[in-house]
Structure 1
Amino acid sequence: METKLQKYHKETGVKQAFIAKKAKLTPGAYSLIVRGESLPSLPAAIRIARALNDTVENLWGEFVE
């Protein structure tokens, strides 16, 4: 199943390493999050959302009931 982050990178062509750096994450950690193999901590999720000019709720909202 494609994650919203995978879709973002496919649609925009923005490199994962660029967003990882902006979000202060290692490229490996960010890659795991993009592939859906890991969920970020709340601070990391906020940094990723800010790097993408998006919200945590929009990126991971399906996990919140």
Structure 2
Amino acid sequence: MTKIYTGDLMELVCVIKEYLKENGLKSKYVAEKAGVSETTFSHIINNKSLPTLPVAFKIAKVIGKRVDELWLVKS
């Protein structure tokens, strides 16, 4: 897991890559199904940017997970 955001109260960690590996999904496929470019999806899974809520929900739907399973908050 790689941290994407660190604040005073929490750390947000993206775990999408782990789900892609576990389920044999390709980034290109998920990006297309979620309606985002491969570049945008790459930035999201490589912790360079956070998606909008609608995009986060689309990604979660494609992967078959809930949004809160893809971005973990650690206190």
Give TM-score scaled by structure 1 length: 0.84
Distance 1:5 1:49 in 2: 9
Which structure is higher in RCO with an 8 Å CA cutoff and minimum separation 6? 2
Distance 1:57 1:41 in 2: 14
- Give the superposition deviation at 1:60: 1.4
* Alignment counterpart, residue 6 of structure 1, candidates 17, 23, 26: 17
Tell me the residue number matched to 1:17.
Answer: 28
- Give the superposition deviation at 1:11: 2.3
Rg bigger for which structure?
2
Tell me the residue number matched to 1:56.
Answer: 67
Runs of 5+ unmatched residues, structure 2: 3-13
Q: How many residues align?
A: 64
**Which structure's residues are more often strand, by fraction?**
2
**Which structure's residues are more often helix, by fraction?**
1
What's the RMSD between the two structures over aligned residues? 1.8
Q: Percent identity?
A: 34
Distance 2:65 2:23 in 1: 14
Look up the equivalent residue of 2:19 and give its one-letter code.
Y
